[in-house]
Amino acid sequence: MKQESGSSRRGSTSSILSFEDPDLIEEPLAIIEQPLLDTLFGKEGYVNDPSISQSLVERIQQQPSFKEQLLAIIERSKTEKTARIAAANAITVLVRAGVQFTGMDLRGIKVPGADLSYGMFDSARLDGADLRKTRLHNIWLRKANLSGAEMTGTQFGELPYLQEDRSVIRCAYWNDGKTLAVGLQSGCFRLYDTSSWEKIKEVETFDIQFGYLIFSKTSNRIAYNDYFLLLRLVDAETGNLLQTLKGHTNLVKSVMYSPCGSKVASGSWDTTARIWNVETGECIHVLQGHEDCVHSLAYSPNGKEIASASFDRTLR
């Protein structure tokens, strides 16, 4: 009865993996590599099925020879194009089984589409590897060599971050999303290309530091307020000062461009909101009525109305 139970277990497993033949496991490694490539293991995304993945993980943990078999497939991917899909499946399930690749020589492996998330690849040689469209979420890659690796479409699970040398006060995207402006406590703002995150330009402002930073939706102008009661308009491409808007009698707290970009509104601790002509710098309207700081402004989509919020608990 015990033997029949064991036979039944193996038969059940082999219905999922056609290479689960006990005779193959006892064969030399060189002989049993090819059957793996000829099975469903060579089907793209095969190990993404949770039940299959779990079955393979358990087998790796129970049978060291199976682990070596999968490592051999990964090695073959360096020179055999037909082994690449199987290699991607192999390294995916090895990582899920907790196999560590720390310090391993993986130069030139071809595993496009593999899921290496949470894998241990510290100090691994991955130079020249094909890692296109792989998932590398929370992967360990300290001191790993990735020189020359193909990584088009690789997903790290997070977007790149920018490290600045001063406190970041404000940031704003240009309307097309291709440029990000970052305002620093030192009194400058930097422009970054969002496709490469390379710094395009650094613009020194005329102040120690500033508060709000906002792009016009229709031009390359940036409006920002400083701590000297002023509102300034700057050309984002050249860094040239276009207008200095004077009129508030206390600190400017909020800034907002009109949808058409021809006007800019500002709210202040002087309890007023002002609307300015961006071309002439002239104050067109002074909006009064609040009894405390005007800390937020919003234009209606058609630009004909503007809402103001104040610390006096009112919205006008």
Residues 176 and 221 grouped into a single domain: yes
Residue 289 has pLDDT above 60, yes or no: yes
Overall average pLDDT of the 288-292 stretch: 95
Residues 91 and 172 grouped into a single domain: no
AA identity, residue 7: S
Residue 128 lies in a domain: yes
Whether 245 and 207 have beta carbons less than 8 Å apart is answered as no
Say what the pLDDT of residue 10 is. Answer: 36
Q: CATH no. for residue 152?
A: 2.160.20.80
Residue 202 lies in a domain: yes
Overall average pLDDT of the 245-257 stretch: 88
Residues 179 and 300 grouped into a single domain: yes
Say what the pLDDT of residue 210 is. Answer: 59
Residue 22 has pLDDT above 80, yes or no: no
Residue 162 lies in a domain: no
pTM > 0.95: no
Residue percentage of the chain with pLDDT more than 90: 44
Residues 194 and 245 grouped into a single domain: yes
Say what the pLDDT of residue 35 is. Answer: 59
Residue 163 lies in a domain: no
Q: Band of the pLDDT at 30, cuts 50, 70, 90?
A: very low
Residue 315 lies in a domain: no
Least confident of 15-19, 82-86, 167-171: 15-19
Residues 174 and 304 grouped into a single domain: yes
Residue 32 has pLDDT above 60, yes or no: no
Least confident of 53-57, 171-175, 274-278: 171-175
Residues 118 and 49 grouped into a single domain: no
Q: Please identify, among 96, 127, 147, the residue that sits at the C-terminal boundary of a domain.
A: 96
Overall average pLDDT of the 160-186 stretch: 82
Say what the pLDDT of residue 3 is. Answer: 39
Please write the tens of the pLDDT for every residue from 191-244: 888 877 888 888 776 554 556 778 887 777 888 776 667 788 888 777 788 888
Overall average pLDDT of the 85-89 stretch: 94
Q: Which residues contact 211 (CB under 8 A, 6 or more apart)?
A: 169, 170, 224, 225, 226, 227, 251, 252, 253
Residues 241 and 283 grouped into a single domain: yes
Q: How far apart are the first and last CA of the chain?
A: 84
Please write the tens of the pLDDT for every residue from 113-148: 999 999 999 999 999 999 999 999 999 999 999 999
Number of domains forming the structure of the chain: 3
Overall average pLDDT of the 160-174 stretch: 81
DSSP notation for 11-48? HHHHTT-TT--HHHHTS-HHHHHHHHHHSGGGSTTGGG
Q: CATH no. for residue 190?
A: 2.130.10.10
**Mean pLDDT score across all residues of the chain:** 82
Q: Please identify, among 96, 111, 140, the residue that sits at the C-terminal boundary of a domain.
A: 96
Residues 29 and 58 grouped into a single domain: yes
Residues 110 and 52 grouped into a single domain: no
Residues 120 and 41 grouped into a single domain: no
Distance CA 70, CA 66 (A): 6
Say what the pLDDT of residue 211 is. Answer: 63
Instruction: Pick 309 or 203 by higher pLDDT.
Output: 309
Q: For the chain, how big is the Rg over CA atoms in Å?
A: 31
Whether 189 and 205 have beta carbons less than 8 Å apart is answered as yes
Residues 173 and 65 grouped into a single domain: no
150 DSSP 8-state letter: B
Residue 61 has pLDDT above 50, yes or no: yes
Residue 218 lies in a domain: yes
Q: Please identify, among 116, 135, 157, the residue that sits at the C-terminal boundary of a domain.
A: 157
Sort 256 into a burial class: Cβ within 10 Å, 0-12 / 13-18 / 19+.
Answer: buried
Whether 243 and 200 have beta carbons less than 8 Å apart is answered as no
**For the chain, how many residues are written?**
316
Q: Band of the pLDDT at 12, cuts 50, 70, 90?
A: very low
Residue 15 lies in a domain: yes
Whether 19 and 27 have beta carbons less than 8 Å apart is answered as no
Range(s) of the domain holding residue 124: 101-157
Instruction: Sort strands 179-184 and 294-299 into parallel, antiparallel or unpaired.
Output: unpaired
Residue 35 lies in a domain: yes
Helix 84-96 and helix 50-62, axial crossing angle in degrees, nearest 10? 70
